[in-house]
Every structure is written in structure tokens, then in C-alpha cells.
């Protein structure tokens, strides 16, 4: 009985902490959702599902379709004419639950900071988190769904979002 | 008894019509400063005759009904209205596709679809220049929409050299 009680308590605590960790990123998004310095974009899974149904002869599109069909959603928070980009970057960085995400890439080039994390279960990557901080720019991008790292960089061509070009770095790293 | 049946029928029909726009169009179409346009199928069909391009004409002819509600000033929609709208639209099978907020501009796109066909698109927008709602009902196949977008992209490239794309994510069906 005691064992069962502790198992249940452990499970409950585990589930609660996982939710709390996810909430940290969501809260960060929500915190700036109405801030006019930021552009907020949310692409729902339904749009990815619809896009994946489009059939054309275009080979590029067919490659992108393979990526898009398993995507669950995309959230982007961008600010490109701010003065506290690096401070925001550091604030967002402190909110990333590092025990839940594994770091994929880190770049620091002069004033530019780029970090990417993935969250996986088994062999499947469930979330890709991208954080970019420059003195005048800040980007937080979160892809969810089943993500193929070999193919996700191809999305940088179709996403006209600041910071999405950083996805190309995955390809560079892998090569 | 027949009179009661008649009134019940009228009431149900009125409710069904209002349900198509989840109340917003009907609530605000007579609001001060509102421009409300309802385009029936015959009008879009007749209008399509002036479209030269066959693919575009074909797509326009698939519009069964279109409604536009526009306010030149700030949005009169209250938060309560919008919450109600989202709640009702979800209940009636309308899925959120994209939400964008940039500065004071908010755009929300919702759609009802089955397999590869979009049956309804609702765009809700508000900006300092105006606010409103656009509802288009019809049967639009995704590949047809994609063909028209592709074509307009190519034409845009030809005219301007580089396509003029706003600083927003393109819907994945559009390719640069």
C-alpha cells in the first residue's frame, strides 16, 4: 500500500514537473504575446496537415511536405528593433528547462547568441527550440511534432521569419 | 397549429443563418460605421466572367457565399465577443490555422476542411487602419488554391524581379 502510494506520488510529481517545465516556455511566450515590440506567430497543426495534402510535381515541395506532415505546430516570438535583445535572450535562457531539453547547437559570434535545443522521447524529436539574441534582435521559435533534423533545415526556405535562417545551422553542424 | 410550426421553422432558419458567422457579422452589421457586404453565389459567378485567367475564374466560381464586415476605425468587437466567436467556431468544426500579431495588427485565420477540400475560411483582423471579418464559403480544393498562389507568385516575380513578401510567415503552401 505504502509502495503504491509513493509510486503514485512520484508519478504525479513527475507529471506535474513536466507540465511546469513546458509552461515556463509557454509563459514566456504569453508574457510578450501582447507586447507591441514583438511579432507573435502561431501556426496550428491543422495548417501543416492541410499543406501536407497538397500534391505537386515540384521536387522541392515534395521534400518539404515530408517535413511538414509530421509537424504539430509552430510558435514564434520575434522582436527586431529593440535595445535589450541580449537581456531578453538571457531571460529566456534562464527559463529553458535544461534537464528536459538536450542542447543541439550553441553559437556565439561577437554580439550574436544562438542556441538550439531538442526534446526527444526515444528516437523521436518532439520539440525543437531556437533562441537567438542580438543587441537589437530577439527570436524564440518552437517547433513541435515529429521532427526530422535532417530535413527541418529545408523549412528555412519557406518560413519568412527572422531567425528561421538559423535552422540552416543544423545542416552545417550535421555535415 | 400551422402558424406555430411556421414560426418554429422561421426561428430555426434564422438561427442557422446566424450560426454561419458565429454571431459577429449579424451582431455588428448595423453598427455605426460598419460596411457589411454579403455576396451571394450568383454574384460571384457573374463577377467571375470578368476574370481572364481560367484557374482564377474556376476558383472564384466555387465561392458559395462571401461576407465582409469592415470598420474603418478601431475594432468594435469586445473580448467577450471574440471569446464567444472562438468557442462557437471550435464547436462547429472550424480549426484555427494561423494567428499573427505584429505591432497593433492582429490577424486570425480559421478554416473548416474535409480531406483535401476547404469548405469555409474565416479571417478576423484588426489594425489601426481598420478591423473586420471575412467569411468565404465554398468548396476549394487545396491543389487548386496552391496552383493560383503559385501562379501569382511567378507573376509577382516577373513584374518586380523579387517577390514582395511581407515580414510574416508564408503559409507553407507558398514557396519562395
Instruction: Give the DSSP letter string of chain B.
Output: -HHHHHHHHHHHHHHHHHHTTTTHHHHHTTSTTEEEEEE-HHHHHHHHTT---HHHHHHHTTEEEEEEEEESSS----HHHHHHHHHHHHHTTPEEEEEEEETTEEEEEEEEEETTEEEEEEEEEEETTEEEEEEEEEEEEHHHHHHHHHHHHHHHHHHHSS----SSPPPTT---
pLDDT confidence tier of residue B75, bands split at 50, 70 and 90: confident
Is residue B86 pLDDT above 90, yes or no?
no
Is residue B36 within 8 Å of B25, Cβ to Cβ? yes
Residues of B in contact with A75 (CB under 8 A): none
Residues B63-77, mean pLDDT to the nearest whole number: 88
B75 versus A22: the higher-pLDDT residue is B75
What percentage of chain B carries pLDDT values higher than 70? Answer: 74
* Distance from C-alpha of B83 to C-alpha of B69, rounded to nearest angstrom: 18
Across A46-50, B97-101, B145-149, least confident range: B145-149
The answer to whether position B167 is within a domain reads: no
- Nearest Cα of chain B lies from the Cα of A35 at a distance, in angstroms, of 8
Lowest mean pLDDT among A135-139, B2-6, B85-89: B2-6
Give which of A70, A49, A175, A58 is closest to A125, Cα–Cα. A70
Best A34, A37, A44 residue to mutate vs chain B (most B CBs within 10 Å): A44
Sign of the four-CA dihedral B37, A50, B146, B156: positive
Q: What is the pLDDT of residue B99?
A: 92
For residue B57, tell me if it sits in a domain.
Answer: yes
Model confidence at A21: pLDDT above 60: no
Residue pointed to by grid coordinates 543587441: A135
Rounded to the nearest angstrom, the minimum Cα separation between B162 and chain A is: 14
Q: What is the pLDDT of residues A128-158, one digit of tens each?
A: 899 999 999 999 999 888 887 777 777 766 6
Residues of chain B in contact with residue A68, where contact means CB-CB under 8 angstroms, are 172
Q: How many domains does chain A have?
A: 1
B114: exposed, middle or buried (C-beta count within 10 Å: 0-12, 13-18, 19+)? Answer: exposed
- Residue that has been written with the C-alpha cell 484557374 in this structure: B55
C-alpha cell at A62: 515534395
Q: What is the mean pLDDT of residues B172-176?
A: 40
Residue A56: the pLDDT is 75
Tell me if B176 and A56 make a contact (CB, 8 A cut-off): no
pLDDT at B18 (0 to 100): 44
Contact A46 B165 (CB under 8 A): no
Tens-digit pLDDT profile for residues B48-60: 888 888 888 888 8
CA distances A114 to A103, A129, B25, Å, are 11, 11, 45
Taking alpha carbons only, the member of B115, B128, B117 closest to residue B74 is B128
What's the pLDDT at A53?
84
pLDDT top residue among A16 and B61? B61
* B169 domain residue, yes or no: no
Its domain, for residue A73, covers: 2-174
- pTM of the entire predicted model: 0.73
> Does the beta-carbon distance from A158 to B165 stay under 8 Å?
no
Mean pLDDT of the region B145-161? 69
Please check whether residue B9 lies inside any domain of the structure.
yes
C-alpha distance from residue B68 to each of A52, A114, B29, B71, B90 (Å): 29, 43, 9, 10, 21
Using the predicted structure, report yes or no on whether residue B112 has a pLDDT greater than 90. yes
Q: Nearest by CB to A36, from B103, B118, B146: name it.
A: B103
pLDDT value at A168 more than 60? yes
* Average pLDDT over all residues of chain B: 77
Residue B176 lies in a domain: no
The confidence score (pLDDT) of residue A162 equals 67
B165 with A51: Cβ contact below 8 A:
no
Q: Mean pLDDT check: name the lowest of A60-64, B27-31, B95-99, B123-127.
A: A60-64
The per-residue pLDDT for A3 is 53
Q: Write out chain B residues lying below 8 Å of A64, CB-based.
A: 172, 175
Q: Which of helix, strand or coil describes residue A1?
A: coil
Instruction: Provide the 3-class DSSP secondary structure of residue A53.
Output: coil
Considering the domain boundaries, does residue B25 fall inside one? yes
Check: complex ipTM more than 0.90:
no
> Per-residue pLDDT averaged across A115-129, rounded?
86
Please name the member of A34, A43, A56 whose beta carbon is closest to the beta carbon of B98. A43
Look at chain B and report how many structural domains it folds into: 1
- Give Cβ neighbours of residue A130 (< 8 Å, ≥ 6 apart): A114, A115, A116, A139, A140, A141, A142, A163, A166, A167
Strand order in the sheet with A71-79: A102-109, A112-121, A124-134, A137-147, A71-79, A39-43, B95-102, B105-114, B117-127, B130-141, B63-71, B34-39
A66-70, A96-100, B109-113, range with greatest mean pLDDT = B109-113
What pLDDT sits at residue B92?
86
Domain range holding B92?
A: 2-160
pLDDT of residue B24: 83
Residue B73 lies in a domain: yes
Set of chain A residues whose Cβ sits within 8 Å of the Cβ of B170: 158-160
- For residue B166, tell me if it sits in a domain: no
- B 126-155 residues with CB < 8 A to A: 142-143, 146, 150
Over residues A69-73, mean pLDDT? 85
Interface of chain A against chain B, CB under 8 Å? 33-34, 36, 39-44, 46-48, 50-51, 53-56, 58, 60-61, 64, 68, 74, 76, 157-162, 164
User: Is any Cβ of chain A less than 8 angstroms from the Cβ of B90?
Assistant: no
Q: Note the pLDDT of residue B2.
A: 52
pLDDT given for residue A15 in this prediction: 42
Amino acid at each position: 500500500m505504502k509502495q503504491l502510494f509513493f509510486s503514485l506520488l512520484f508519478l504525479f510529481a513527475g507529471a506535474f514537473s513536466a507540465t511546469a517545465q513546458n509552461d515556463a516556455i509557454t509563459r514566456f511566450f504569453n508574457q510578450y504575446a501582447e507586447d507591441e515590440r514583438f511579432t507573435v506567430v502561431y501556426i496550428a497543426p491543422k495548417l501543416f496537415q492541410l499543406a501536407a495534402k497538397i500534391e505537386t510535381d515540384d521536387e522541392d515541395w515534395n521534400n518539404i511536405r515530408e517535413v511538414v506532415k509530421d509537424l504539430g505546430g509552430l510558435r514564434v516570438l520575434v522582436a527586431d528593433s529593440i535595445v535589450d535583445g541580449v537581456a531578453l535572450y538571457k531571460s529566456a535562457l534562464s527559463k529553458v528547462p535544461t534537464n528536459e531539453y538536450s542542447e543541439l547547437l550553441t553559437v556565439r559570434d561577437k554580439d550574436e547568441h544562438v542556441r538550439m535545443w531538442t526534446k526527444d522521447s526515444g528516437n523521436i524529436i518532439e520539440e525543437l527550440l531556437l533562441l537567438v539574441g542580438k543587441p537589437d534582435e530577439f527570436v524564440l521559435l518552437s517547433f513541435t511534432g515529429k521532427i526530422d533534423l535532417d530535413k527541418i533545415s529545408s523549412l528555412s526556405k519557406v518560413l519568412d521569419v527572422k531567425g528561421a535562417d538559423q535552422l540552416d545551422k543544423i545542416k552545417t553542424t550535421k555535415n | 397549429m400551422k402558424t406555430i410550426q411556421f414560426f418554429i421553422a422561421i426561428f430555426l432558419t434564422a438561427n442557422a443563418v446566424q450560426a454561419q458567422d458565429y454571431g459577429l457579422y449579424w451582431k455588428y452589421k448595423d453598427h455605426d460605421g460598419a460596411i457589411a457586404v454579403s455576396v451571394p453565389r450568383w454574384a460571384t459567378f457573374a463577377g467571375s466572367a470578368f476574370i481572364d485567367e481560367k484557374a482564377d475564374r474556376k476558383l472564384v466560381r466555387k465561392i458559395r457565399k462571401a461576407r465582409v464586415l469592415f470598420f474603418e476605425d478601431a475594432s468594435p468587437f469586445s473580448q467577450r465577443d471574440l471569446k464567444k466567436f472562438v468557442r462557437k467556431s471550435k464547436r462547429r468544426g472550424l480549426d484555427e490555422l494561423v494567428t499573427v500579431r505584429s505591432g497593433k495588427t492582429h490577424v486570425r485565420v480559421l478554416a473548416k476542411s474535409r480531406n483535401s477540400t476547404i469548405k469555409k475560411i474565416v479571417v478576423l483582423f484588426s489594425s489601426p487602419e481598420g478591423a473586420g471579418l471575412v467569411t468565404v464559403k465554398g468548396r476549394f480544393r487545396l491543389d487548386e488554391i496552391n496552383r493560383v498562389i503559385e501562379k501569382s507568385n511567378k507573376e509577382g516575380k516577373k513584374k518586380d524581379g523579387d517577390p514582395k513578401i511581407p515580414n510574416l510567415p508564408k503559409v507553407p503552401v507558398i514557396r519562395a
